[in-house]
């Protein structure tokens, strides 16, 4: 199994509070991704990173920011959580662009915003 961990695994927070989710990898892969998964929707890309300090938006980036100061860590921040951000969040990594390389997924973080 690819060495990917996510923390926390479960979190309940109140509307308006900031939340940071962490993805940590031990594979030294260049690309890292944050997805959210909701019933009735496929996995949707929030943000991705193609190197240290190099990030770009995905299709559902509003309300989220990311940072990558080290190869192994990719942080997802909800500056002011809303109930619509209740979801399961998955981190993924790949050696290169995901169309040409397999992605490896973390175990997921279940976030509930009340």
Partner 1 sequence: KNEVEQSPQNLTAQEGEFITINCSYSVGISALHWLQQHPGGGIVSLFMLSSGKKKHGRLIATINIQEKHSSLHITASHPRDSAVYICAVDNTGNQFYFGTGTSLTVIP
| Structural contact between residues 89 and 21, judged by C-beta atoms closer than 8 angstroms | yes
Determine the Cα–Cα distance for residues 51 and 72; give it in Å rounded to an integer. Answer: 10
Beta strands 19-25 and 73-78 are antiparallel
70 touching partner 1, by CB under 8 A: no
List the one residue from 50, 57, 73, 105 that touches partner 1 (CB under 8 A): 105
62 touching partner 1, by CB under 8 A: no
Q: How many CA atoms lie within 13 A of 13 on its CB side?
A: 23
Binding residues with partner 1: total (CB under 8 A): 20
Can you tell me which residue has the tokens 């949707």?
Answer: 44
89 touching partner 1, by CB under 8 A: no
Using the minimum distance from each CB to partner 1, give the nearer residue, 15 or 26: 26
Region of 21-29, 34-42, 61-69, 78-86 interacting with partner 1 (CB under 8 A): 34-42
30 touching partner 1, by CB under 8 A: no
List the one residue from 3, 22, 24, 104 that touches partner 1 (CB under 8 A): 104
Terminus-to-terminus CA distance in the chain, angstroms? Answer: 34
Give the residues across from 45 on adjacent strands. 35
| Binding footprint of partner 1 on the chain (CB under 8 A) | 40-45, 88, 90, 92, 97-105, 107-108
């Amino acid at each position: 199994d690819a060495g990917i961990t996510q923390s926390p695994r479960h979190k309940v927070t109140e509307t308006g509070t900031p939340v940071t989710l962490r993805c940590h990898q031990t594979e030294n892969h260049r690309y890292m991704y944050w997805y959210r998964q909701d019933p009735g929707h496929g996995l949707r890309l929030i943000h991705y990173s193609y190197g240290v300090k190099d990030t770009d938006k995905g299709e559902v980036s509003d309300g989220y920011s990311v940072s990558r100061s080290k190869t192994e860590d990719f942080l997802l921040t909800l500056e002011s959580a809303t109930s619509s951000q209740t979801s399961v969040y998955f981190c993924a990594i790949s050696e290169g662009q995901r169309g040409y390389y397999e992605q490896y997924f973390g175990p997921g973080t279940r976030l509930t915003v009340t």
